Amino acid sequence: MEFNIKQNILQNKPYRNFSFWEEKILNEENLWEGYFDNKEITNTSKVIYTGIFDLEKNILQCGWAAYPCGYSLLGFLQHVFLPTSFFTCFDRKSDGFFIPVSDFDTVINETLKYNDSNVDLTSVNSMKNLYNFLNNLWEYDSESLSQELKSFSQKFNATWNNDPNQRLFIEIFDDPCDIFNFVKESVSWESKEFIEEDISMSLEALKFACDNAVEEPLLSRRLIDILNTNAPILF
């Protein structure tokens, strides 16, 4: 048990620190799409699909990304995804998509300070609770962390993916093989021909790419680019 705890601490450094993500944001690294730190997909990778939509603010930000392990994804969710989601939802003074360069507590305080006092505090507390949920996961082992990250995405989507004018969404994939069914089900109302037209490739080719992303070196470096090109908007 002691060895596992020490191993977890080594794995999650430096992802736990806001300063690590602050530097990434300031350097304008693309944390929402592509391969985090240019690391190809392996059997420890987490693939994510995120979506942020706000009709009033004319925001549609969505895309696919691969993170090398659960702890790197945990850091992104805690220090980038949630602060950005909060700011997008509760800041009504600005237009366009912004990634806050501040820790979560500062984002909350500053956003509420400069916006209307009639903010829905239940929704604010819901986002705070999700942040605290993530913050408690850093000592989990990799397997338990994967389960809890899935739980997080389900809770998050159940709360924030319901309003047709303002939606937040995240899907987490432990195995690239699962991506195919997600894409197919996301456009399930269309015929096979229309789906293939939408994604600009055959379903068989997409399934092959997803099923072999870990084993095939070319696909491990190309799958996310294929998805961002052919299946960017699915929520």
Domain boundaries, the chain: 2-175
The residues with which 40 forms a beta bridge, in sequence order, are: none
In the prediction, which pLDDT does 4 show? 53
The residue length of the chain stands at: 235
Q: Report pLDDT for 95.
A: 85
* pLDDT for position 18: 97
In whole angstroms, give the CA distance from residue 167 to residue 86.
Answer: 11
Long-range contacts of range 85-90, CB-CB < 8 Å, 24 or more positions apart? 85/52, 85/127, 85/160, 85/168, 86/111, 86/127, 87/111, 88/52, 88/54, 88/57, 88/59, 88/168, 89/54, 89/123, 89/127, 89/160, 89/166, 89/168, 90/115, 90/119, 90/123, 90/124
CA atoms within 13 A on the CB side of 10: 6
pLDDT in tens, 190-224: 566 766 776 778 888 999 999 999 999 999 999 99
What's the CA gap between 213 and 220, in Å, rounded? Answer: 5
Backbone angles phi, psi at 25, to 5 degrees: -65, -45
> Can you tell me the distance from the alpha carbon of 213 to that of 209, in angstroms, rounded to the nearest whole number?
6
Give the helix/strand (H/E) hosting 64: strand 59-67
Cα separation, 1 vs 117, whole angstroms: 48
Query: pLDDT per residue over 153-190, tens digit each?
Result: 999 999 999 999 999 999 999 999 999 999 988 876 55
The whole model's pTM is what?
Answer: 0.92
pLDDT at 118: 77
Average pLDDT taken over every residue of the chain: 91
* pLDDT for position 191: 61
What whole-number distance in Å separates Cα of residue 20 and Cα of residue 27?
Answer: 11
How many Cα atoms sit within 13 Å of 92 on the Cβ side? 11
For the ranges 118-127, 135-144, 147-156, 210-219, the lowest mean pLDDT is seen at 118-127
Checking if the pLDDT of 89 tops 70, the result is yes
pLDDT per residue over 1-40, tens digit each? 554 555 555 556 799 999 999 999 999 999 999 999 999 9
